[in-house]
Amino acid sequence: MSNTATIVWFARHELRLAWRDWLWMMTAGRAGRACKAALLLTGFVCFMHFLAFSMVGRYADIGRAPDKTTLIVITGSALLAWCLMVSQAMESVTRAFYSRSDLDLILSSPIVARKLFSVRIGAIAVSVALMALLLASPFINVLVVLDGPRWLGAYGMIAAMAAVAAALAVALTVALFRTIGPKRTRLVAQVVAAVIGAAFVIGLQVGAITSFGTLSRFDMLKSDALLMLTPDTGSIMWWPARAILGDVAPLAAVLAAGLAILALATIGFAGRFGEHAAAAAGVSSAVTAQRHRSRFRGQSSASALRRKEWTLLRRDPWLVSQSLMQILYLVPPAVLLWRSFGRDANALVLLAPVLVMAAGQLAGGLAWLAISGEDAPDLVATAPVPARRIVRAKIEAVIGAVALVFTPFVIAFAALSLWHAAVTALGVLIAASASTQIQLWFRSQAKRAHFRRRHTASRTATFAEALSSVTWAAATGMAAAGLWVAAVPAAVAIIILIGARLISPRAD
C-alpha cells in the first residue's frame, strides 16, 4: 500500500471512530433515539440562527474600512473562541494519550506509526473546527445573508484557529509529559485546559467589573484605555479580524500560517507521539506497585463503603476537567457582587443562590459517577451488605464531597451573617440531595469513562436536575433576603422532584 493510500485509510478509520463516538454521545447507544437526536439537532440549529439574528444582525453593515473599536471587538471575540478551542484540543489530546486502547495493535503492526499519529493530530484539529462551526456557523450565515459573501472568510478563519489550537495543545501536552511525567500530566493537563478555556473571558469580565461595574466584556473591549494601548488599524495585529471580514490577503496569510503551524507540530511530535501515548496508557491501566502498607483496621460496613466511594471519586481521571470549569465561572459574579455591595451581608443575598446552583450541578455529576458509573456492579451486588446500605453510603459520600467544597464558603458567610450562612448551608444541602436523588431514580449502568456523555443517558434526568438546582437557588436567594415568597420556588422545586419520581423508571 502506498503512503498516500495508507494515510487515506487511517483518515477514514479515524473519521469512522469519531462518527461513532458522536453518534453514541447523541443517542446513548440506542438506535431508536437517532430520529429524536436529529430533530433535536435541527431545532438547536434553528434556535441558534434566530439567536444569531437577534445578536449580530445590527452589526452586519460594518464597512470594509472598519474603525479600531470594531477591530478590537472582533479580535477579542475571536481570541475568546480560540481559547475555548485550545481547551477542547488539550482535552482531546489527553484522551488520545490515556483513553485509546488500540496502541498495542498499532505499534505492533507493520506500518509506520508516525503516519497514524499524524492523522490523529489532524483529526483533533478537524474535530475542534467542527465543534466551533456548530456554534459559530449560525452567526456567520446570518451575516452572509444580511451583508454578502465576504463574511464567508470567517469559515477560513475558524479553520486556521483550529489548526493553531491543535498544534498548541499537542505541544503543551508533550511538554508537560516530558517535564512532569505521564502520571502527573493527566491531572495537570486537565487543569491547564480548564484554565485556558476560562481565563480570557474571566479576565475580561473581571476587568470590566473593576473598571465599569458590569459583567459585559464588550465594555472592556470598547474602553478608551484599550484603544490607546492598541496599534493603528493598518497593523498586522488586525489581520485575523480583517480575515473574518473577508479581506482576501489577510485571510490567505492567516490560513497559510495556521496550516503551517499545524504541519510543523505534526512533523515535530508525531514521530514520538506513539511513545508518549504508550507510556500514558501504561500509567492509566497499570496498578501502582508502591502502596502504603497499613494494618487492617476494623470499621463498619458503612464507613468502608464511604471510604471506597471517596477513593474512587478522588482517583477519577476526568472529574477535574468536567467540574473545574463551572467552578471557575463563579469568579466574575463573586467579584461583581463584592465590588457592588461591599463586604457586608447584602452581597450574600446574591452570592447564596449562585453557590446553591453550583452545588446542585456538582452533586449531580458526582452522583452519576458514584451511582451509575460503578465499574464493578456485580461485585458490589454480591457483597454481604444490604443494597439499601450500599446506596446510602453512595449518597453520603456524594453529600460529603459537596460539603467539603462548599464549607469554606459557608464559614466565610458566617463571618458576616449567621442567618445567611445557615440559609446558604441548608440550600446547598437540599440542592445537592435533590440532584443526587434524581440521579438515583434515573440510574442506569454505564462506564466511568462515559462521564462526559452522561447527559445523553436520560435527558429527563438532565432537565429535572437543572430545574431543581435553579428553583432551589431561587428559593435560597429569597430566603436569604428574608422574603416569605421563597416558599413559592421551594414548592415548585418539590413539584419537580415529585414529577421526576413519578416518571422515573425506578420504583424502589
- Give me the residue spans of the domains in the chain: 3-285, 301-503
pLDDT at 292: 44
Q: Print the SS3 string covering 165-197.
A: HHHHHHHHHHHHHHHHCHHHHHHHHHHHHHHHH
How far apart CA 440 and CA 34 sit, in angstroms, is 26
Q: What is the pLDDT of residue 257?
A: 93
- Closest to 403 measured CA to CA, from 431, 441, 445, 370: 431
Mean pLDDT of the chain: 76
Backbone dihedral angles phi then psi of residue 327, each to the nearest 5 degrees = -70, -40
Query: 10 Å Cβ neighbour count for 375?
Result: 12
pTM over 0.75: no
Amino acid (one-letter) located at 288: T
Q: From residue 289, how far is each of 101, 281, 286, 314, 393 by CA, in Å?
A: 21, 16, 9, 18, 29
The string over 123-140, giving b where at least 16 C-beta atoms fall within 10 Å of a residue's C-beta and e elsewhere, is bbbbbbbebbbeebbbbb
pLDDT at residue 24, as a whole number: 65
How many CB atoms within 10 Å of residue 40? 13
What is the pLDDT at residue 490? 92
Give yes or no for a contact between 275 and 363, defined as CB atoms under 8 angstroms apart. Answer: no
pLDDT along the chain (508 residues), means of 10: 64 73 62 67 80 73 71 84 86 72 64 75 87 86 84 90 92 85 76 76 65 58 73 84 87 93 88 67 49 52 70 64 66 62 62 85 81 65 71 82 85 83 92 89 65 57 85 90 89 90 69
Q: Where are the alpha helices (DSSP H) in 217-247?
A: 217-221, 224-229, 239-244
Which residues, in sequence order, are CB contacts of 145 under 8 Å at separation 6+? none
Query: Is the Cβ–Cβ distance between 401 and 366 less than 8 Å?
Result: yes
**What confidence score (pLDDT) does residue 340 get?**
53
What is the residue whose three cell numbers read 461591599? 342
Q: Specify the pLDDT at position 238.
A: 87
Q: With beta carbons less than 8 A apart as the criterion, state whether 489 and 478 touch.
A: yes
If you ran DSSP here, which 8-state letter would residue 287 be given?
P
